Amino acid sequence: MAPRVIDPKQVVDALLDYGAAIAARPPGEPPAFTADPEANAFLASDPFAFLVAVICDQGIRAERAWAVPLELRRRLGHFDLQRMAAAPHALRSAFATRPALHRLVNTMPIWVSLAASKVLSDYGGDAGAIWGDEPTAAEIQARLQAFVGISQKKAAMATEILERDLGVVVHELEGSDVAFDVHLRRVFLRCGLAQRDDLEHMVKSARLARPERPGSLDFPVWDIGRRWCRPTDPRCDECAIGAVCPRLVAAGNGVRGM
Ligand code: SF4
């Protein structure tokens, strides 16, 4: 069989079309971070809940991570930053109560407590002040990465969600980035947008592919990675970009990670 012709522009256009389709929702409805409308409303209305979800989005399914803030509030009986900062042991108990809120049951309570302390000391107790002054995408990413437990991946993802789903004003979106996670790495290699599995190369590849907003490639790629472009037996014929993807499946087979 002749090799499929690679046209990166067609791949990028298909990714953006798919991203727009899955991000669409009725006006006024909060984004569906989880299957629970109450959890979604809490994430959309409480900036510290959003920050806690970002911190927890590691090592477990995203839907479970984004459900943590509401359940944490239920278990604690409050969502008070002063108390969370002062009593990490209470957070530890809340996280560890069965069923445990997170796989990293020792680490996450510490990171959440440190985040509460930092919001109190640096942002006057208002997590919304992290992104509330109409910053650039690069500024938001840098501010988020200054929190213990927020990596490049989480900061880039959060910046996109804030602008795209939560209506936060973000300037200079050309400074946004894709999140270097396992789905992005696998899909980028297989669809020919990147040739090497390293952070710097992937980020640069996204900037070249979509200079006006590199981060806009993040959501569709993440979703495609979970839905069709699985580590083994990718379902190319069903994939949203299957018609234009070069299907370099072997290129992504070595990608490992959570
Ligand atoms: S599932 Fe197939 S068509 Fe879709 S991105 Fe992966 S390799 Fe390309």
Q: What is the pLDDT of residue 147?
A: 98
Cα(144)–Cα(151) distance, rounded to whole angstroms?
A: 8
In the chain, which ranges are continuous DSSP H helix? Answer: 8-23, 37-45, 47-56, 62-76, 81-86, 88-96, 107-122, 137-145, 152-166, 182-190, 199-209, 218-227
Work out whether the CA dihedral 63, 69, 72, 74 comes out positive or negative.
negative
Question: From the CA of 109, how far away is ligand 1's center (Å)?
Answer: 37
Find, among 68, 33, 31, the residue nearest to 48 by Cα. Answer: 68
Question: From the CA of 231, how far away is ligand 1's center (Å)?
Answer: 11
At 223, which amino acid appears? Answer: D
Mean pLDDT for all residues in the chain? 96
Is this model's pTM higher than 0.85 or not? yes
pLDDT tens, position by position, 4-39 = 667 899 999 999 999 999 999 988 888 999 999 999
Q: What number does the ligand 1 atom closest to the CA of 187 have?
A: 5
Over 70: is that where the pLDDT of 258 sits?
no
Q: What is the pLDDT of residue 27?
A: 84
Question: From the CA of 4, how far away is ligand 1's center (Å)?
Answer: 12
Question: From the CA of 210, how far away is ligand 1's center (Å)?
Answer: 19
pLDDT tens, position by position, 149-196 = 999 999 999 999 999 999 999 999 999 999 999 999 999 999 999 999
Q: What number does the ligand 1 atom closest to the CA of 191 have?
A: 8
Pocket of ligand 1 (CB under 6 A): 187, 190-191, 224, 228-229, 234-236, 239, 241-242, 245, 247, 249
Stretch among 79-88, 239-248, 249-258 having the lowest mean pLDDT: 249-258
Q: Using an 8 Å Cβ cutoff, are 207 and 194 in contact?
A: no
C-alpha to C-alpha distances, 9 to 14, 57, 174, 239, 257, nearest whole angstrom = 8, 31, 18, 17, 28
Instruction: Please report, rounded to a whole number, the percentage of residues in the chain having pLDDT higher than 90.
Output: 94
Work out whether the CA dihedral 2, 7, 11, 14 comes out positive or negative.
negative
Q: Which domains does the chain have, with CATH numbers?
A: 8-25+177-252 (1.10.1670.10), 37-172 (1.10.340.30)
Q: Using an 8 Å Cβ cutoff, are 19 and 224 in contact?
A: no
